[in-house]
Amino acid sequence: MREYTYSPHVDFFIEYVGYETNYEMSTFHTHHKYEIYYEVEGTRRYFIEDAAYIVNAGSVIMIGENQIHKTGSVGDGPSSRIVCNFSAEYLQEIVDAFPELDFFTFLGQEENHLLSNITVKQQNYVYSVLQQMIAIQGEEPESHAARKMLLATLLLQLQKMCETQKELGGDNGRVTNRIVDQIQSYIAEHYAEKLTLTGIASQFYISPYYLSRLFKKTINLSLIEYINGVRIKAAQSLIEKTNDSISTVAEKAGFMTSAHFRRVFKDATGLSPQQYRQYFKRMNKGN
The amino acid present at 157, given as its one-letter code, is Q
pLDDT at 105: 95
* Strand pairing class (174-175; 34-41): unpaired
With contact defined as beta carbons under 8 Å apart, do 90 and 148 qualify?
A: yes
Q: What angle do CA 134, 138, 144 make, to 5 degrees?
A: 80
Q: Which of the residues in the chain have pLDDT under 70?
A: 1-9, 21-26, 75, 170-173, 176, 219-220, 283-287
174 exposure class (CB count in 10 Å sphere: 0-12, 13-18, 19+): middle
d(CA 162, CA 84): 18
What DSSP assignment string belongs to 45-105?
Answer: EEEETTEEEEEETT-EEEE-TT--EEEEESSSS-EEEEEEEE-GGGGHHHHHH-TT--SSG
With contact defined as beta carbons under 8 Å apart, do 63 and 86 qualify?
A: no
Q: Which residues neighbour 141 within 8 Å (Cβ) at sequence distance 6 or greater?
A: none
What are φ and ψ of residue 70, in 5° steps? -170, 145
pLDDT, tens only, 57-116: 888 999 999 888 888 877 677 788 999 999 999 999 999 999 999 999 999 998 899 988
pLDDT at 150: 97
With contact defined as beta carbons under 8 Å apart, do 29 and 267 qualify?
A: yes
283 exposure class (CB count in 10 Å sphere: 0-12, 13-18, 19+): middle
